[in-house]
Amino acid sequence: MNTKTLLCCLPLALAACSSVERVDPNSDDAVTTMGVDYDELTEWSDTLTRRMLDSRFLDDPALGEQPIRMVVSKIENKTDLSNFPTEIVMGQIRSALLQSSKVRFVSTYGDDMQDRMTRETQDMADDPMFDQAQIPEQGQASVARLSLRTQILWQYGQSSSAKQNTYQVRMSVTDVKNGEVVWEDLSEPIAKKYTKGGLRW
């Protein structure tokens, strides 16, 4: 079946046919905007995860046995995009780190993928509706040793004939036991330039 669906909505001579086509979000067929596009989010995620693992700070025996517990501390969107899709970047980074078997994420607190079920399960204690033998005892939830903080950065430039948005991701990992930063890096910058007669602003 052809994946392109023709949408012909207007009658007779005024009819205008548009098309909806499924494309690879990482290909040249994907829409390019003045913001950050999906393939660029994927590029950021892959780069930062690789740099994090290649630095080998997670192998430091002073941090304890692997997998090391990590929590997402704060995600700051400092861009002009109010709905910046931080979940795509963080989701791919978290998934890659989990698959490396070096990290486990704590979801009882933090700024990303917090899951209230751990606390709510604890609150079932003494509720006759539930099997009390299955309720975890007090004090069983894990505390993270490492904290992952993220900033999405943006710089705007303009001349008489062009406008440019430049975006970059800054990440740092802190040892919460002593407050020391054990890793920090920035993604490669992504710059989008608009000139008259080019992309629509």
The Cα–Cα gap between 159 and 147 comes to 40
Q: What was the pLDDT predicted at 56?
A: 95
Q: Hey, what domains does the chain have and what are their CATH numbers?
A: 35-123+142-195 (3.40.50)
> Would you state the pLDDT for residue 20?
63
pTM score, whole prediction: 0.80
Amino acid identity at 82: S
Q: What is the predicted pLDDT for the residue at 78?
A: 93
In 26-102, beta strands by DSSP E: 68-77
In DSSP terms, which residues pair with 72 in a beta bridge? 148
| Residue in the block written with tokens 């994946």 | 3
| C-alpha of 79 from chain center | 15
Beta-bridge mates of residue 136: none
**What is the spatial distance between Cα 76 and Cα 80, in angstroms, rounded to a whole number?**
12
**Dist. CA 9–CA 201, nearest whole Å:** 27
DSSP conformation class of 137: P
Minimal CA–CA distance to 111: which of 151, 144, 152, 71? 71
- Within the chain, residue ranges assigned H as helices are 38-54, 86-99, 117-122
Q: Which one, of 47, 54, 35, 147, lies nearest residue 89 by Cα?
A: 47
Of residues 93, 96, 89, the one with CA closest to residue 168:
89
* pLDDT (0 to 100) of residue 13: 47
Tokens 């894990």, residue located: 142
CA dist., res. 59 & res. 198, Å (int): 48
In a structure prediction context, what are the per-residue pLDDT tens digits for the chain, which is 201 residues long?
544 444 444 454 445 667 766 656 667 765 677 778 888 899 999 999 999 999 999 999 999 999 999 999 999 999 988 888 999 999 999 999 999 999 999 999 999 999 999 999 999 998 999 999 999 988 899 999 999 999 999 998 888 888 898 999 999 999 999 999 999 999 999 898 888 765 544
